[in-house]
Amino acid sequence: DAGITQSPRYKITETGRQVTLMCHQTWSHSYMFWYRQDLGHGLRLIYYSAAADITDKGEVPDGYVVSRSKTENFPLTLESATRSQTSVYFCASRRSPESAKGEQFFGPGTRLTVL
């Protein structure tokens, strides 16, 4: 089925380890986004990408790395995980036309716990 998927759905890791969260969409949407959701903060943008090989920082990029070699994939890497990165991570995508502004399609989320 078409859509946006995230893997893994749940991850427990230890401080200092590298972790990669995967995001895959089948719509060929140009834009993709990574958010983290924390209680009392809503969603905060980590990184976004307007197209393959084009990425830019969001509100809270420190400690994260992204890449986008293919349109459909947008992995998020925590190079050295810290406890403060315990959160629920959401990937999203949207089409490029102006008429599609605002309608981001969200994945189901990845719950990451850093011990």
Binding site for another protein (CB under 8 A): 4, 31, 33, 40-45, 48, 50, 58-59, 90, 92, 94, 101-109
Nearest CB to another protein, comparing residues 20 and 44: 44
d(CA 11, CA 98): 36
Nearest CB to another protein, comparing residues 80 and 97: 97
d(CA 79, CA 4): 24
Q: How far is the CB of 28 from another protein (least distance, A)?
A: 17
